[in-house]
Structure 1
Amino acid sequence: MGRTLLLICLCMTGQVFAQQPSRFNGIEANMGNIFRLSDAKTRSISPENFNGAKGAGGKATTGMGQSASRDLGQGWKVSPSVMIKAKSTFTIAEIDGSGSIQHIWMTPTGNWRYSIIRFYWDDETTPSVEAPVGDFFCMGWGRYAPLQSLAVCVNPGSAFNCYWPMPFRKKCRITMENIDEKDMILYYQVDYILTDVPNDAAYFHAQYRRVNPLPYKGVYTLVDSIQGRGQYVGTYMAYGSHNNGWWGEGEIKFYMDGDSEWPTICGTGTEDYFCGSYDFDTHVKNPAGVDRTEYTEYTTPYSGLAQVIRGDGHYSIAQRFGLYRWHITDPIRFEKSLKVTIQALGWRDGGRYLPLQDDIASTVFWYQAEPHGAYPKLPAKDQLEVN
């Protein structure tokens, strides 16, 4: 009975001992195999060790903390951060060899929509990841909100954490472009391993889009350029409502491997796709004892409504929402192609649907074999602005 229960628990998280490779390489360490020995070599890149070299951390004699450490000297937080000048690009990490990114932590200052993070795998010249840093870490509205999930955590102090495994075979390059008119400060750490990468390991991808406003009766496209074989693993949406009333009746649709007019997967509503229900409402009583409903934030390992920005009745009158859905235990697998769309739909009087013209931004996440299809051009600075 005990062994059966253990196998059930491990199966629920995809961690069955019999399925583990005979030579564990450490790329997908988890609670089911963390005790297994590996030949992987752990490394870390930060402003205290720009290239992740063994035995080279904390050796800086100049840096952003030089003044504060002047009485203590080398080894005392001399270089904890970097300044990225306005209209410039900084290389966060450049790694040669085969391995996998395992964790990224950073806390960027400045405007999170104007800081563009990009990832390049092996010898590719166009990025596999391209998104504003706030949207990549599920903070698309430029305001902190706590978020706890398996793939992304945002912790107090606006600490961004990413746990998506990101294997590479020849090289990894991560950059941050500051498109703002002001300089920004970036604290960061990239934790990775150097190890052999299995033949069936796909590459991590992320793509950002925004439409504001969505045309009347238009359907929002989260992604339509995925070509090749892989699996779709996540959606983040920064949804800005331009109307009163409920906004989340729209269906998400996955068109895969040659689907044309009709998709293979069709959802039943926006709040349903993000694993909520009934408008994300909770019934509460006000101080007078009158029953009312209100949006209820939630974060779980796989889905959440992490952010609800309520209008203040003055200049910030718009309602804005941040939602995520990770397909970690239920990846959407495709062989040749994938297109994903979602409707923006509310209610008219008389019980009829109302096509909405809202502000929708999204970052979607997937793994695939390279090469990847062409990405749409990233919106210009004015089109990225949160207003």
Structure 2
Amino acid sequence: MAEFNGLGMGLGNLSRLSKAKTRSICAENFTGEKGKAGMAVDGTGSRFARDLGQGWKVSPSVSVKAKTTFTMADVVGPGAIQHIWLTCLPNVWRTLILRIYWDGEEQPSVEVPVGDFFCNGWCERSNVNSLPVAVNPAGGMNSYWEMPFRKAAKITMENIAEEDATLFYQIDYTLTDIPDDAAYFHAQWRRSNPVKYKDVHTIVDGICGRGHYVGTYLAWQSNHTGWWGEGELKFYLDGDGTFPTICSTGTEDYFGGAWNFEYPQGQYGSFSTAFLGLHQVIAPDGLYRSQQRFGMYRWHVMDPIRFEEDLRVIVQALGWRSGERYLPLQDDIASVAFWYQAEPHAVFPALMDKDGLEVI
């Protein structure tokens, strides 16, 4: 039997021994070096530990200064990121930008506002109880996406706001051999605000290479009365032209629901499961919160969408109008696409500026 390398153990392999080395990076050990955690003598907790000294939670967090980029991790491989935990205040969830770079590449493979990466794009906390992403009271954000790398992994957080932001974080990883067929994790954010009339929201486009699509998160604001999710999600892969290879039968169908997510009658039935959910429903308050807002995710963990050459993913925004006709909607839709692929990857479109990212 081949030696188990410690990558993606799972319950089925949990009892097996491995030569993989476990490491962890946080504000108490910026490098993840063995035997070097909890040694800080200065940090964001130093005044609280002034009677206790070194070893007593002196550096539990970092301050990411305004208009700067903080390097959360810079690891030499081979290995894999196995778990990311972090927390910060909701008001910075669209102004802190998470980026991940593999094997010394200059262009990021992950570029997403931190809230959206953890399925919280509206800067209002909503718990998520899924397999790869969990968000717990009162803002503990967890990612269990497996992220292998062969040479190096670099994780940064850019603060595009005019104010400093406090960030608590921990990155758990393993140093181990990586199989030849292990692909690299990618995630990309996009927004249509609003979707143009009779147009679609593009979740991702321009993916080139071999890989598999593993997840979708949508932060959807309805700018009309009535039902908003009649549109289809479409996956154009490997040279598809006018028509895609994969097409859903409706937005709520793709996210695992049915019949407008309406349960009980007259209200949305929110849910959060291992692979899919409508976990966030934000209702108008009759004053300043004038629009309905929704957060939903779909993880293709058990059913990855594989492509050999290229991939494009879109969603239609459709409601109803008179005479039992579809109404193309002009809603505010932000999305995150999650996928694995062999490197190199295509360069991402330029991320929107602060105003383009803002929840308004």
- Give TM-score scaled by structure 2 length: 0.99
- Counterpart of 1:126 in 2: which secondary structure? coil
Alignment of 1:311-322 (within 5 A): 311-322=284-295
1:228-255 CA deviation, whole Å, 9 max, x = no partner? 0000000000000000000000001101
Q: Which amino acid aligns with 2:204?
A: V
Query: Which of 55, 61, 64 does residue 81 from structure 1 map onto?
Result: 61
1:273 aligns with 2:226: no
Residue identity opposite 1:129 in structure 2? V
Structure 1 residue 302 corresponds to structure 2 residue 275: yes
Do structure 1's residue 253 and structure 2's residue 234 form an aligned pair? Answer: yes
| Aligned counterparts, 1:176-215, within 5 A | 176-215=157-196
Residue aligning to 1:5: none
Aligned equivalents of 2:30 and 2:325: distance in 1? 58
CA distance in structure 2 between the partners assigned to 1:184 and 1:153 by the alignment: 22
**What is aligned with 2:336?**
363
Secondary structure, counterpart of 1:32 in structure 2: helix
Q: How far apart in 1 are the matches of 2:9 and 2:36?
A: 25
Equivalent residues in 2 for 1:211-222, closer than 5 Å: 211-222=192-203
After superposition, where does 1:1-387 map in structure 2 within 5 Å?
A: 22-109=2-89, 110-283=91-264, 292-387=265-360
SS of equivalent residue, structure 1 residue 193: strand
1:183 maps to amino acid: D
Output one character per residue of 1:271-313: Cα deviation in whole Å (capped at 9) or x when no partner: 0000000111112xxxxxxxx4200110000000010000000
Shift of 1:108: 1.6
Distance 2:358 2:92 in 1: 9
Q: Once the 2 structures are TM-superposed, how far is the Cα of residue 225 of structure 1 from its aligned partner?
A: 1.3
Structure 1 consecutive aligned stretches of length 4 or more whose deviation exceeds 4 Å: none
Cα distance in 1, alignment partners of residues 284 and 318 from structure 2: 20
Q: What percentage of residue pairs aligned between the two structures are identical?
A: 61
Instruction: Summarize deviations over 1:316-363 as a string: whole Å, max 9, x none.
Output: 111000000000000000000001111000000221100000000000
Q: Distance in 1 between matches of 2:88 and 2:107?
A: 24
Aligned CA-pair RMSD: 0.7
Pairwise CA distance, 1:270 = 0.1
- Equivalents in 2 of 1:97, 1:262: separation in Å? 41
Unaligned regions of 5+ residues in structure 1, if any?
Answer: 1-20, 284-291
Residues 183-192 or 108-117, more deviating: 108-117
Distance of 1:376 and 1:97 partners within structure 2? 28
Distance in 1 separating the partners of 2:154 and 2:347: 19
Deviation, 1:28, is: 0.9
1:9 alignment counterpart: none
Q: Which residue of 2 aligns with 1:16?
A: none
User: Match of 2:279, as an amino acid?
Assistant: A
Q: Distance in 2 between matches of 1:112 and 1:28?
A: 29
Query: Which structure would you say has the larger Rg?
Result: 1
CA displacement at 1:221 relative to structure 2:
0.7
Unaligned runs of 5+ in 2: none
> How far, CA to CA, are the matches of 1:160 and 1:128 in structure 2?
20
